[in-house]
Structure formats: C-alpha cells, structure tokens
Structure 1
C-alpha cells in the first residue's frame, strides 16, 4: 500500500475499491444478453482464449469468416468489443487479459 496523508484518505480509497468490486460482482451476476456476451463470460471464467474457442466450437458456431472459431477470434472480440456486449463486462475481460500479459500465463 502507498502512504496516505491521513486515515480519511485511506478510508476513501478503500471505499472506492469496495464500490468498484461490488459493481464488478453485479456485472458478473447478470445473465448474458447475447451470444457474444456468453463468449466473454466463458473467457472470464476460464481466463483462456483456447478454452473459450473450444467452448464456442462445441456449440457449432462458426466465425464471421465462416470458418471454425479460433483463439484469435476470441481475442479480437475482447479487444474490439461489440455493440451487444456490456462495456462493464468487456472491462472485466480486458483486466484479465492485462493481468495475463503482465504475469505471463499465470492468472492471479
């Protein structure tokens, strides 16, 4: 933790973190509203584009190109987003991607 000017600043910071975590929990409790959201939820659950790709393939869904869904398609969906995906859900998925990029294959 970084040093704070006073206890009030620390409390305000911690309360802000609690609000952010509660917002993420609310987002994750929401049922997927589209197929793309279902894909993003699976990525958040597994932390793996490969496992997410396997999930999509098991459903028989093909990519926009008409070929089998790939890990790259999952990455592209998370990076570019889509109109039918909640921005809050995308933020969570992108945080996972950033954690993986900073920590290698380890997910914390």
Structure 2
C-alpha cells in the first residue's frame, strides 16, 4: 500500500505542476493576444499616416512643378493631360 500512496502523491504533484504551467501559459497567451491586437492597431494607424503623407508629398510635387520648378514639369503636364482626358470622357458620357 505504501508504494501506491507514493505513486498517487507523485501524480498529484505532477498534476499540480501541470495545472500551474497551464495557468501560466494561458495568462501568457492572453497577454500575447492583447499585445498582438495593440500592434495591429498601431500598424493600421501608421499605414493610414503613410498614405496621408504620400498624398501630401504628391501634392507638394505638383505644387512645386506648377510654381515653376523644372523637376516634375513633365509629370505635371502628363497629369493635367490625364485629367483633361477624364473630363472629356465625362462630358462625352453626359452628352450621350
């Protein structure tokens, strides 16, 4: 009987350790999930900010080229021509 009690005690200790490890892992998992959500939120915010900055940069390039900067004059002419084509297309659609 003594050997059986030792086995049961050993199993109880092992079960207790496993239960504690499980609790620790669940807490860590929860913490990591929260950190992941925060990281996703930060990435979304930064992506939006990047898009805004890209648009501002493009606007500044256009403004510089319209103000007489030699850099980007060709791009500006191409953009204006593209806008004119779009407007002409819209007018044609409205005429039909």
- Work out whether the TM-score is over 0.5: no
Higher relative contact order (CA 8 A, sep 6+): 1
More helix by share: 2
**Please, what TM-score do these two structures have when normalized by structure 1?**
0.33
Instruction: Please say which structure displays the higher CA radius of gyration.
Output: 2
**Please, what TM-score do these two structures have when normalized by structure 2?**
0.37
